Amino acid sequence: MIDQAKSIQKHVIYSIVTFNIICEIISLFIIGFNREFFIGIVSGTTTMIVNYILLGVVVDCILYGHKKILKIYAGVLIYGIRLIIFALSAYLAVKSGMKSIIAYAISVLSFALFASIMYVKEGKK
């Protein structure tokens, strides 16, 4: 079970990075190199990958941790860290401009899309 989850996690991360690189390359032809768009893509991709890995840590901690009270505290702490990471990344995108916000949204939505596809695909096996 754990190996399957790790395999899915690697596929999701690979898919997100590949898709967002393709989005950046396409944007080079449409709007040229735009610093705002690049910041949005990079911050969104990085944020989603870090938060996805932290989510896996929380699940492992809760399911396979030793003491119940430590599992709860660790889960809450890591969840709080995930929220702070989201907030800082979104703040960076907002401060960078509208193209950065659009690129950030593309990155976040691509994560949701690829994670859903991979989990549904693996669930049917």
CA distance 20 to 43: 11
**Segments making up each domain of the chain, as ranges:** 2-119
CA distance 14 to 76: 28
* Distance from chain centroid for Cα 60: 18
CA distance 35 to 41: 10
The tens place of each residue's pLDDT in the chain, 125 residues long, gives: 466 667 777 888 888 888 888 888 888 888 888 888 888 888 888 888 888 888 877 777 777 766 666 667 777 787 788 888 888 888 888 888 888 888 888 888 888 888 788 777 776 66
Q: Looking at the whole model, is its pTM more than 0.95?
A: no
CA distance 61 to 58: 5
Burial 60-97 (b: 16+ CB within 10 A, else e): ebeeeeeeeeebeebbeebeeebeebeeebbebbeebb
Q: What is the pLDDT of residue 68?
A: 66
Q: Which helix (H) or strand (E) holds 9?
A: helix 2-30
Q: Are 101 and 40 in contact (CB under 8 A)?
A: yes
Determine the 3-state secondary structure of 69 from DSSP. Answer: helix
